[in-house]
Amino acid sequence: MNYSMAAILTGIITGVISFIIGSGLWFAPWAVKINNKAKDLPIWKNLPVKTFLPWVFIWGLVFSIIMAITYMFVKDLLPLNLIVKGLIYGIVIWVFKNLSEAVNNLLLIDKPINYTFLELANSFIGLSVSGILIAVLFGAFTKSLQ
């Protein structure tokens, strides 16, 4: 297996696991309470779950593959062992993607603050786990290439 295939396989596996974790976080009792309070706001598209979930899954796969390919190029810049590398990588992605989006939401969109904080917490957990998965899986798949 070459590095590119290792990154794609890593991204696919990470995407599937992240979807499962993310679904668990979004449908957890504390999240459902916050979601229910925000569900009738006029900012949402009215998509049925059977339409919405497949698109979320597909985007999650694409995003995870992009993360894994990017990791392939930056992994040597990250310190320490695979778990710490992955955690740092996931947090950096979270800062650039979700933290900046949350600031934008708070400043420009009339989204409830508790919903924005729920998104921040869930995405922090999800991207931290995704970063660790990517580092560990990519390391395992490329061990024989090093």
| pLDDT computed for residue 110 by the predictor | 80
List the domain range (segments joined by +) for residue 122: 3-145
Number of domains in the chain: 1
In contact, 18 and 60? CB cutoff 8 Å: yes
**27-41, 63-77, 105-119: range with lowest mean pLDDT:** 27-41
Residue in this structure with the two tokens 């991207």, named with its chain if needed: 127
Q: What is the pLDDT of residues 94-113, one digit of tens each?
A: 999 999 999 998 898 888 88
| pLDDT computed for residue 111 by the predictor | 81
Q: What is the pLDDT of residues 45-60, one digit of tens each?
A: 677 777 888 999 999 9
Q: Which tokens in the block code for residue 5?
A: 């295939």
Mean pLDDT of 72-94: 96
Q: What does the alpha-carbon distance between residue 139 and residue 83 come to, in Å, rounded to a whole number?
A: 10
Q: What does the alpha-carbon distance between residue 15 and residue 59 come to, in Å, rounded to a whole number?
A: 9
pTM greater than 0.75? yes
- Give Cβ neighbours of residue 21 (< 8 Å, ≥ 6 apart): 125, 126, 129
